[in-house]
Amino acid sequence: MNSKEVISSLNNIGSNKRNHLFIQSLNGVLLDKKEINDGLNSLCALLESKTKFINKDKILKNDCIYLITVPVITNQGEKSFNKEIGSLKSTQDLLIDLKYEGNLLSVFQIK
């Protein structure tokens, strides 16, 4: 999928006031932006040009989660969503699931 198709997909889901961006390995370990490659940098820049993300804030009902999964496995670090969603009893609606330059982007909304 190219950047125009990603933007079109993002436009199709509409906008949300509270959005969170997470980058994780295949086995669910959170990655820091310092650990990412050029393809992932371009995906993050593309997302940040269309969407305002909340950093270090608790995930609430109706929030959107932008989850980028990178094709690496790492054992060092914290598991995704341990603190943010661990105690939240909810379901999620998957809004987008796509591949961009070898990385997976899933966008879901907490219900």
All residues at 6 or more sequence positions from 44 whose CB lies less than 8 Å from its CB, including other chains: 21, 23, 33, 36, 68
pLDDT of residue 77: 78
Asked whether the beta carbons of 100 and 52 are under 8 A apart, the reply is no
pTM here is 0.85
Q: What are phi and psi of 22, to 5 degrees?
A: -125, 140
pLDDT per 10-residue tile (average), the chain, 111 residues: 85 85 90 77 88 85 92 81 56 88 91 84
pLDDT of residue 24: 92
Asked whether the beta carbons of 100 and 43 are under 8 A apart, the reply is yes
pLDDT of residue 82: 60
